[in-house]
Structure 1
Amino acid sequence: MRYTVFGRGTGLRVSEYALGTGNFGTRAGDDPLGSDLLWARRGAGADRDESRKVFERFAEAGGTFVDTADCYQFGESEELVGEFIAADRDHFVVSTKFTNGTARRPDVSGTGNSRKNMIRSVEASLRRLGTDHIDLYWAHFPDTVTPVEEILAAFDALVRAGKILYAGLSNFPAWRVSRAVAIAELRGWSPVVGIQTEYSLAQRTPDRELLPMADSLGLGAALWSPLGGGLLTGLYQRGADGWTSAGKRVIRGGDAQQRAAVIDEILAVAKETGGTPAHVAIAWVREHARRAGTGFVPVIGPRNTAQLDDYLEALELTLTEEQQARLNAVSAVPLGAPHEVSAIALDPVLGGADGVAAPTTSVA
């Protein structure tokens, strides 16, 4: 496995995959509210023994970047990660998140991005992880009420106290992130160093604002769900209610016709390369992320070692420029306003087809 720095604003070295550990643990599988909680919609998860095998296999392959959250498996994921990293803590870059808390029934005092909840959450995460510091600490989701100044000031206090080393914003819109970056810089606070967002051949809307923003500001990007929640593995069938796997999980939303075209193209490229659809989907994300910015890292979320081996095998696959172009074209999303209007307005100024007007679809 190769390594990169997490954005141009840090010297933090991370592996080219981050190991997402939302499947470490089984508490969510027993929860009656699991189907209503975003972070619990992961099936039964992996027990301690299988989670350890996944972690050790990832480490043996050279993986150092490990991503968890306090809400994953209601705190069990952090506990297992803490157990697994204990023998060589400083070798790993440990990333965790707060906002939703660990309670099965979230309450007003144990959720949100306030300074109160951040301080409470980081202390609890440090105990579960069995460490004295967190390498990269994320606000997991915007809570719609906490001012960004409060989040940034609390991050800065935690960095100065040595409890976290870096801070980032996960699932925040681009305008909130860019404003946060500017405020932290102007006030001399610890910087926002990265973003987390969903990104795959089935979800390219971050091409509109988030990824160009991250690149221009030198932020790292952790790209979760690179297989589109399993959709891009080729195991899902299209039905009236959405895409289903063995008649169980349903993936709704998105342009069904485009998704079908994307899957058809992935299957065609897989046949050409001799790899699996998952290999192709991951190889595309890795290459596209490399071209889009410094320190853009896919977050993989295997439930078992067989799934992890599939991700690792994808490291050996290099798509041709022609294959990349086909996948880019079929998965591209319209950039919308103001990008398309700007391109039209600049066209006569910059020379039309032979000029340098901005593209009207997602970055290829």
Structure 2
Amino acid sequence: MQLLKELLRLLIIKKVMKYKIFGSKTGLRVSELALGTGTFGTKWGYGSQPEEAQKVFDQYLEAGGNFIDTADGYQLGESEELLSKMIADKRQNLVLATKYTMGGNELLTTGNSRKNLIRSVEASLKRLNTDYIDLYWAHLSDGQTPIEEIVRGFDDLVRDGKILYAGFSNFPAWRIANASLMADLRGWSPIVGIQIEYNLIERTPDRELLPMAEALGLGVAFWSPLAGGSLTGKYRNPESEETFRKKEWNGYLLKGEEGSRETAIIDTLVQIAEEKNVKVGQVALAWLRQKHNQSSLSTVTILGVKNLTQLDDNLESLSVILSNEQIQQLNEVSNIELGSPHEVIANSQQRIFGENSGLMIQKTPVA
């Protein structure tokens, strides 16, 4: 009976899992939830044992997911090694993304240079035991390598058939815009997407990154959608066994409940979760999934999970549909100041055109 219930649950989730074209510069069909595999392995001293990682991978695919995201530095390469066995007989039905920048530990095996780019992609292909990578990300800006060097390197790899698409993760908007325009004008392989940290606590991409992505037709992948677990509310209980991120990760990339804004966000999530009789984190994921439905942005959410329980909780968010009022509640409680020049422009247009002018730039984020 329990097995039947589980099968029915997975069938329901699979029916609600949607697929979308990743940005306007590809025809790549991806599931709206991607599987992040930073916890696949234990070489960081924490993470999932191979058996648990396999179960998470299988369950994700069973639910209809097809977008796998990893990096050469995840678990010191163990994530890619474990994935090589998991994807072996499913390769053509998966969108496989990995990254380079931080996979080495020497002067010339880190950074964005062409030398490290070529070394890294060859090493990832070997670890993943595949002939090509679907989407290759520059993982992090090193603040030094000319953007032309990176974009031309990506183009060479596409022409060689080693990668199919390229994008930027954790780069400033002005560098990505420069790269995208350069690729288009020079006839190089286009930059197709960005990967950014984005959640109810971390909304600074509303200022530049998201408007840029929408204007340039870039697909967007959100990492840390639950702010390292803070948006599940679990860290409010200091005795909870669920505080592994604070203990094992030493708070790394954790957006905590540091002030009144964060407290108001989590309080609102708790209120809506009680109204809908669902879990707090599921409301946060539902907001992220629904928020950009009215825009031309193509977004996917990367789930970073350690075990089956976390994956199941996240997948069940697909069945959570927030009302327009609830989305607006969360928009308002998490809203940020856009800063200069956005506020300067909005205030000036108010004075010139008045409150009701259709020419006014909105004071709240458009993305």
TM-score (norm 1): 0.91
What does the per-residue CA deviation read over 1:218-274, in whole Å, with 9 as the maximum and x for residues that have no partner?
A: 0000100000110000111399xxxx9387354467861100110000000001010
Q: Does 1:14 align with 2:12?
A: no
- Count residues with an aligned counterpart: 343
What pairs with 1:177-256 in structure 2 (closer than 5 Å)? 177-237=176-236, 245=243, 248=247, 250=251, 251=254, 256=259
Residue number in structure 2 paired with 1:38: none
Bigger shift: 252-261 or 151-160?
A: 252-261
Indicate if the aligned counterparts of 1:290 and 1:296 stay in contact, CA closer than 8 A: no
Q: How much does 1:288 deviate? A: 1.3
Structure 1 SS opposite 2:183: helix
Match of 2:321 among 318, 321, 325: 318
Aligned counterparts of 2:27 and 2:67: Cα–Cα separation in 1: 14
Give the stretch that moved more between structures: 265-274 or 350-359: 350-359
Q: Distance in 1 between matches of 2:302 and 2:59?
A: 16
Confirm or deny that 1:163 pairs with 2:166: no
| Equivalent residue, structure 2, for 1:100 | 102
Is the CA contact 1:232–1:278 (under 8 Å) kept in the aligned structure 2?
A: yes
CA drift of 1:210 comes to: 0.3
Contact 1:4 1:294 (C-alpha < 8 Å) held by counterparts: no
CA contact (8 A) 2:221 2:300 kept: yes
The answer to whether the 8 Å contact 2:256/2:262 transfers is no
1:24, 1:45 within 8 Å by CA — same for their partners in 2? yes
**Contact 1:24 1:77 survives alignment (8 Å):** yes
Moved more, 16-25 or 248-257: 248-257
Deviation at 1:301, TM superposition (A): 0.7
How far apart, CA to CA, are the structure 1 residues paired with 2:144 and 2:24?
30
Task: In structure 2, give the amino acid aligned to 1:159.
Answer: V
**1:51-88 CA-partner distances (Å, limit 9, x unpaired):** 00000000011100000000000000011111111011
Q: Which residue of 1 aligns with 2:127?
A: 128
Task: Tell me which amino acid in the other structure corresponds to 2:75.
Answer: Q
Aligned partner of 2:11 in structure 1 is none
Asked if structure 2 preserves the Cα contact closer than 8 Å seen for 1:6 and 1:294, the reply is: no
Q: 271, 276, 285: which one pairs with 1:282?
A: 285
Letter of the 2:53 partner, please give it.
Answer: S
Alignment partner of 1:74 out of 72, 76, 82: 76
Report what 1:32 is aligned to. Answer: none
Question: Secondary structure at 2:294's aligned position in 1?
Answer: helix
CA RMSD of aligned residues (A): 1.7
User: How many Å apart are 1:284 and its aligned residue?
Assistant: 0.3
Q: Is the 8 A contact 1:2 1:15 kept in 2?
A: yes
Corresponding residue number in structure 2 for 1:2 = 18
AA matched with 1:310:
D
Matched AA of 1:58: Y
What SS does the corresponding residue of 1:172 show, helix, strand or coil?
Answer: coil
Q: Deviations over 1:173-227 (max 9, x none)?
A: 1000001111111111111100000000111110010011001100000100000
Give 3-state SS (helix, strand or coil) of 1:153's partner: helix
Find out whether 1:309 has 2:307 as its counterpart.
no
Could you list the runs of 5+ residues in structure 2 that have no partner in the other structure?
1-16
Given that 1:261 and 1:330 are in contact with CA atoms closer than 8 Å, whether structure 2 keeps it comes out as yes
Contact 1:194-1:220 at 8 Å conserved across structures: yes
Q: Which amino acid aligns with 1:338?
A: P
Alignment partner for residue 362 of structure 1, among 330, 341, 365? 365
Would you say the 8 A contact 1:289–1:297 is kept in 2?
Answer: no
- Runs of 5+ unmatched residues, structure 1: 30-43
